[in-house]
Each structure stands twice: as C-alpha cells, then as structure tokens.
Amino acid sequence: MTKKEKSSSNFDGAILKKSPNQTSSIFERPDGRKNTELRPVWAKVGVVPNADGSAIYASGDTIAIAAVYGPKQMHPQHSQNPEKGTLRCTYLMNSFSVNERIKPGPNRRSMEISKITEWALEPVLMLKDFPSQVIDVHINIIQADAGTRCAGINAASMALAHAGVPMKSLVTSVSAGKLDKTLVIDLNKEEEDFEKGEGPTDIPLSFTADGKLTHIQLDGKISPAQLKEAVEMAKESCKEILKVQIEALKNSVGDEK
C-alpha cells in the first residue's frame, strides 16, 4: 500500500469490541495501538550545524526539526524588552509535509501554533537573565501526520537545551484525544478525522519534567471527568517521551555543535 493510499483510507473507527473478560469495551485504533500507546518515537540533537542548538523529533510519520539562534541582541531596538528576554518561536509546516501540498509561508494556523509554542516553553526559561535579547526558535515540520505542534514543542525544548540556554526543565508534549467515547493518546491524522459517534476530540498538552502543565488546548467535546483522565494519560506518556529527549541530549555530549 502506498503512503497516499494509506492516509486516505477510511477509518470507520467505532469498532467497539468486548475485551476478553467481556466487561469493558476496547476501541480498535487504525494502526493497532493500545489506547495509551505512543507512536514510535525517536530524537536526535545537533542536526543543524549552523544553529546554536538544534534537534529533530519524530513521532510516527510526524517529523519536526527545531533550530535555536541566540540569546542575541534583539533587532529592531524598539522591540527590545529591557526587563527580560524574548522567546520568539516560528512554526512552519513545509508545503511537501502533507499529501495535499499546502501554500508556503505563514498563515493563521502557523501563527497560532508559534504563539502556543512560546507559551508552552516560556515557563521553563529564565528570560529575566537576558534583558533586551531574543532567543529565536525556528520549527520546521518536514512530514505531518497530526500532532505537529507537540512534535515541534518537543524538538524546540531539546534544541534550547542543546544550545545551552538555561532552563528549569525540559518541556514534553503529547496530544491526548477522545474518539467517540474512548480516550486515546497521540492521535494520528486518520484518528483526528474520525467522524463516528461523538467524533474526535484533540487535546494537545505540554508538561515540565515534574509534571506541571505548561500548555493545554482542546478541540472538541469532553466531560470534566474524562478531561481529568486525559490529562493523567498524557502526563504518563510524557514521562516516556522525556526519556527519549534526555537520551538524545546525553548522546550528543562530546559532539561538535
């Protein structure tokens, strides 16, 4: 099956079947993952030699590259904040990252995701130590299969650490979701497009290493009780992702930037 055929296949999803003990239902995911199972994750730092820090982070077919430049003097001067430094994130989804080519350049969606990324990362940065300076983070999505903002945040967090920017913690991000009534982790595009029953709910979240939430968004409908459960599921998954981030950073020790 080609990639195109794979991504356009219709996930009719609500294949609810009884578990072996016949007491609860299991939601069959299109790629056969368990509800709490992440897509295969890999990461590497030091992938953009000219940047001060860089990282690539992949979750299944979603791949993000982040490059950090700075801290450096902010230009133009009137944009400087003499009280603290500025984190400036630029998220870009490349035209070729999805099957249906997208128009190049910034748009409303990329501007929103750039802002969200700044808000997710700012709580761990000591920006007060860098008055009038800027830290530029450029995030490029080179392949997209949903969860690109989370992949971008994960790559950016690693790239900042790789650049030696002082941080209280790494930030780790994942998307929790509800397909009809069932909670799942790390939705792919096929799942995001699921339309049966209550349809899809997408909840991207980001956490510090000690489990403090730095970002949450919600697209869809969910009860307060299930939202609480989704947050806990995402927190657990982020512990797995954090290990991959740390391992990648450790592996770079001794490498030339």
Query: Is residue 149 close enough to count as binding ligand UDP by CB under 6 A?
Result: yes
Give the residue, chosen from 189, 201, 215, 241, that forms a contact with ligand UDP under the rule CB under 6 A.
189
Q: Are 232 and 205 in contact (CB under 8 A)?
A: no
Q: Which is nearer to ligand UDP, 52 or 145 (CB)?
A: 145
Q: Which is nearer to ligand UDP, 149 or 162 (CB)?
A: 149
Task: Specify which residues 173 forms β-bridges with.
Answer: 206
Strands (E), the chain: 16-18, 25-27, 41-45, 53-59, 62-73, 86-93, 133-143, 171-179, 182-185, 200-208, 213-216
Give the residue, chosen from 16, 26, 47, 102, that forms a contact with ligand UDP under the rule CB under 6 A.
102
Q: Which stretch binds ligand UDP (CB under 6 A): 19-27, 143-151, 164-172, 224-232?
A: 143-151
Q: Which is nearer to ligand UDP, 61 or 136 (CB)?
A: 61
Distance, in Å, from the CA atom of 212 to the CA atom of 231, rounded to the nearest integer, reads 11
Q: Which stretch binds ligand UDP (CB under 6 A): 67-75, 142-150, 157-165, 205-213?
A: 142-150
Could you tell me the CA-to-CA distances from 92 to 96, 189, 204 in Å, in that order?
11, 18, 18
Q: Which stretch binds ligand UDP (CB under 6 A): 25-33, 81-89, 120-128, 141-149?
A: 141-149
Q: Which is nearer to ligand UDP, 64 or 242 (CB)?
A: 64
Q: What angle do CA 184, 57, 228 make, to 5 degrees?
A: 30
Residue 145 CB, shortest distance to ligand UDP, in Å, is: 5
Query: Is residue 200 close enough to count as binding ligand UDP by CB under 6 A?
Result: no
Distance, in Å, from the CA atom of 127 to the CA atom of 79, rounded to the nearest integer, reads 15
Closest CA to 146 of 105, 174, 111: 174
Query: Is residue 145 close enough to count as binding ligand UDP by CB under 6 A?
Result: yes
Binding site for ligand UDP (CB under 6 A): 98, 102, 109, 144-149, 189, 192, 202
